[in-house]
Chain A
Amino acid sequence: MRRFAIAMSAALLGCATAQGRAYERAELASLPLRSVAIHVASAAPTESGPQLAIDPLPPITHTATLALATTDEATRAALADAVRAELEAKGYAVDALDAGSVAETRSEADVVLAVRVQPVDRFFVSTWSDEERERARLAVSTQRPPMGPRVGRLMVGQAYAFDRRTGLRLWSRDAIDLPDDGWLHPDSALLAYGVVGARPPERLAVEAARAFVAETFASFPAARAGDKRTRAALDAIDPEVDAAMLAKVDRTRWQIGVDTGWSFDTIETRVEGIGDGVSIDERAIAPAGTFRVTPRFDVRFPGGVTIGAGLALGIAPGSFGRGYVVGDRGVRVAFSAPEHIGLRAAVAYDRYLSPSLHVRPGVGFFIDGWRLGADPRGVVEGDAVARIGALAELAVLYDVADAFFVLGGARGRAGAVPRGSLSLGLEGFVGIGVAP
């Protein structure tokens, strides 16, 4: 049971160890795309300490000024060449953007693409061997790995493609594979966004730019004739509504709330003192289900990955009493409003359907139990029933205001009690919360 809990915790944490934003509009798959106007900018190179602490550049909107506070012309030129070459290889006609923001352009290109990077020319990579790292991982160690300084160039950057006609964002990649905790190890994905090792400055700029572009634009679609109906569908979208939705998608949101729900679960215990004992189930222990109140905490990362946890406190209303007789032996047992406590953790994918409405399917694990309150107390196998298992849930959230939301949903559970029998549960819930 303990190994299962550790494995599930590690899986949930593993889902949250890389930050970054990736967005791709559904219409992109069939939109006519032939020409691109590009804007490329590079900040002056910086150096990192043992922990890579880079403030990601702010998300690009179609009205935002694209210029950066600092610039590095050699890197910008090398990056512009690499981006142009990549797009031309995908079949696009490429031009430089003629304005300081996407909204101000007079270009006739189908797409406006803005690419901005922050080069990091000195950084640290763990010197632990794979075996040492695996050993530390299995031990759930909090020890930090020894770090060795490296020169070269890592490119922490962003690329946003906008529909030139409407200003709608079509595609974006932003600080992808930047490790959440800032610690780089030899197989960190971020190392592919640049080069490791000393090089002359010109080669450094060119090779790092090529590596960044290859990684960032791997999923960028090739030029194509597309479908005119998709073009018409895109023209019908309200850019302001769309921008409001994307603003929520782009930022990390902490959510604190509470939900209340009613659950029905298979629960089993045994009445002792007669024959070989008699099994009794939820029809006696919680005949009307369990009322639960769950304070909840969720973090929605840019892109939609959400991790959350909740502590459920509940009670199974109603009472039950019955006598059991086997031959000339008998006992009487009663249950009165058994109490429930449960802990759950889940990872989910949050998807906005409109600027206010979003759905959140997820999976996770739970551990919970009931204090049965049997009377007399010693007549059942144990006064507590505990179980552990996996859950799947679907929540629908509605943002009433920017910092206030309501939600509703359902959650299914499948678990095992210590003796190994299967336990199933289904819960419906509604709740409220704030997203400060």
Chain B
Amino acid sequence: MRRWIWIAALTALACGGGADGGACFEDSDCPSAQTCVVDVPTGVTVCLEPCAEDGTCSDGRACNDYPPKEVTVQGVLRLCGRP
């Protein structure tokens, strides 16, 4: 039983890169049009789709805004779902 858990875990890791919502290290590990996002406190990474310009998400998920702390830092991260 334990062996099958390991095999399943390794298979998930091997096949997870590139899958929607899967673990990633950088953008190129994700399907095109998705971005790799890390939740800094936990270190968990996940591929998420950026919101469309009108603030909608193609899969119906909610669009979340993650503005930077300082206004001098450019760019607002807008993601469909949460990491």
B39 contacts chain A at the CB level, 8 A cutoff:
yes
B38 contacts chain A at the CB level, 8 A cutoff:
yes
Shortest Cβ distance from B30 into chain A, in angstroms? 10
**Interface with B: A3-11, A194-202, A233-241, A330-338, which one?**
A330-338
**Interface with B: A92-100, A221-229, A269-277, A302-310, which one?**
A269-277
Residues of A near B79 (CB, < 8 A) are 323, 325, 330
Q: Is the CB of B38 within 8 A of A273?
A: no
**Looking at chain B, what size class is its interface with the partner chain?**
20 to 34
- Which B residues contact A (CB, under 8 angstroms)? 25-28, 35-41, 45, 48, 66-70, 72-75, 77, 79, 82-83
Shortest Cβ distance from A69 into chain B, in angstroms? 74
Q: Is the CB of A378 within 8 A of B40?
A: no
Choose one: B38, B41, B69, B75; the contact of A322 (CB below 8 Å). B38
Residues of B near A330 (CB, < 8 A) are 37, 66-68, 77, 79
A147 contacts chain B at the CB level, 8 A cutoff:
no
Residues of B near A327 (CB, < 8 A) are 41
A328 contacts chain B at the CB level, 8 A cutoff:
yes
Residues A319-352 near B (CB distance < 8 A): 319-332, 334
**Looking at chain A, what size class is its interface with the partner chain?**
20 to 34
Q: Is the CB of B77 within 8 A of A331?
A: yes
Given A278-B40, A325-B40, A329-B67, answer yes or no on A272-B73 (Cβ-Cβ < 8 Å).
yes
Residues of A near B25 (CB, < 8 A) are 283, 322
Residues of A near B28 (CB, < 8 A) are 319, 321
Name the residue of chain A whose CB is nearest to the CB of B73.
A273
Given A274-B40, A323-B38, A325-B37, answer yes or no on A379-B66 (Cβ-Cβ < 8 Å).
no
Shortest Cβ distance from B15 into chain A, in angstroms? 21
Kindly state the separation between the CA atoms of A320 and B45 in the bound complex, as whole angstroms. Answer: 14
Residues A272-290 near B (CB distance < 8 A): 272-275, 278, 283-284
Q: Is the CB of B68 within 8 A of A273?
A: yes
Interface centre among A284, A321, A377 (most CB of B within 10 A): A321
Q: Is the CB of A321 within 8 A of B70?
A: no
> Told that A273-B68, A323-B36, A327-B41 touch, could you supply 5 new A-B pairs with CB distance under 8 A?
A273-B69, A322-B45, A323-B77, A323-B83, A334-B27
Choose one: A275, A283, A332; the contact of B40 (CB below 8 Å). A275
Kindly state the separation between the CA atoms of A327 and B64 in the bound complex, as whole angstroms. Answer: 12
Q: Is the CB of B69 within 8 A of A376?
A: no
Residues of A near B73 (CB, < 8 A) are 272-273, 331, 376, 378-379
Shortest Cβ distance from A71 into chain B, in angstroms? 79
Residues of A near B45 (CB, < 8 A) are 322
Residues of B near A319 (CB, < 8 A) are 28
Name the residue of chain B whose CB is nearest to the CB of A323.
B37
Kindly state the separation between the CA atoms of A272 and B40 in the bound complex, as whole angstroms. Answer: 12
Kindly state the separation between the CA atoms of A378 and B69 in the bound complex, as whole angstroms. Answer: 13
Q: Is the CB of A322 within 8 A of B26?
A: yes
Q: Is the CB of A329 within 8 A of B35?
A: no
Q: Is the CB of A328 within 8 A of B27?
A: no
Residues of A near B26 (CB, < 8 A) are 284, 320-322
Residues A223-275 near B (CB distance < 8 A): 272-275
Choose one: B27, B41, B75, B83; the contact of A331 (CB below 8 Å). B75
Kindly state the separation between the CA atoms of A275 and B75 in the bound complex, as whole angstroms. Answer: 16
Residues of B near A275 (CB, < 8 A) are 40, 69
Residues of B near A283 (CB, < 8 A) are 25
Minimum-distance CB pairs A-B, first 7 = A330-B66, A273-B68, A273-B73, A330-B77, A376-B74, A323-B37, A321-B27
